[in-house]
Amino acid sequence: MTSPTIGVFALQGDVREHVQALEALGVRAVTVRREEELDRVDGLVIPGGESTTMIKLADVFGVADAFRRRIADGLPVFGTCAGMIMLADRLVDGAEGQTTFGGLDVTVRRNAFGRQVDSFEADVDFTTFDGPVHAVFIRAPWVEEAGPGVEVLAAVPVGPGAAAGTTDRAADRIVAVRQGSVLATSFHPEVGDDLRLHRLFLDLVTT
């Protein structure tokens, strides 16, 4: 198969970092701001940023419905941090009237881990990888509820102050999920040089 072209939602957010991560894996990465650019990609990354600004700009530029339509039609999508919020079918603590692109059967709590000053890093175990992923959480959301078709890939103890030896795993918060060709994380995998999540997304694009 020809190497795919991956678009990165570029109206707001950590665009450059995702483009660099994708290019490091040898694929063509392009920025997407208009519907005609969206029509030319085989997969889409929605980066971290500010979800309320993202949806407002998508509405202003007249592309929100195009994103919703392509995602509903099965376009592979990878959402990180704010991108997870943008893909959620349901929101908790969203801004008044805040909408999303949808496509992921989850309920996501916006800014669930706290404010900017509550940002933290953690080594997160994944069901799909042999070793943990070093994750950077910045005003991060979490998944409050996942539908029956959603695979939970990773969860962490509640709050950045939770001890490594926490035994109440029922209280863990979901921070990475996959549903079909849609992948989402609460954190920023584009920070650092661990490309496993981007590679996992490319596998969803090409299979």
* pLDDT confidence of residue 168: 46
Structural domain that includes position 68: 5-206
CATH number at residue 79: 3.40.50.880
> Out of 17, 18, 188, 198, which one is annotated catalytic?
188
User: What is the total count of domains within the chain?
Assistant: 1
91-122 pLDDT, tens digit each: 998 888 899 999 999 999 998 887 665 578 88
> Out of 17, 23, 36, 81, which one is annotated catalytic?
81
* pLDDT confidence of residue 167: 43
Query: Model-level pTM?
Result: 0.91
Q: Are strands 43-46 and 28-32 parallel, antiparallel or unpaired?
A: unpaired
Tally the C-alpha atoms within 13 A of residue 172's C-alpha that lie toward its C-beta: 17
The answer to whether residue 198 is catalytic is no
Positions in the chain whose pLDDT score sits under 70? 1, 115-118, 159-171
Q: Are strands 120-124 and 104-109 parallel, antiparallel or unpaired?
A: unpaired
Residue 73: closest CA among 199, 153, 180:
180
The answer to whether residue 188 is catalytic is yes
Give the containing element (helix H, strand E) for 52.
helix 51-60
What average pLDDT is seen over the chain? 90
| 125/3 Cα distance (integer angstroms) | 29
* pLDDT confidence of residue 119: 76
> Out of 50, 96, 145, 190, which one is annotated catalytic?
190
* pLDDT confidence of residue 111: 85
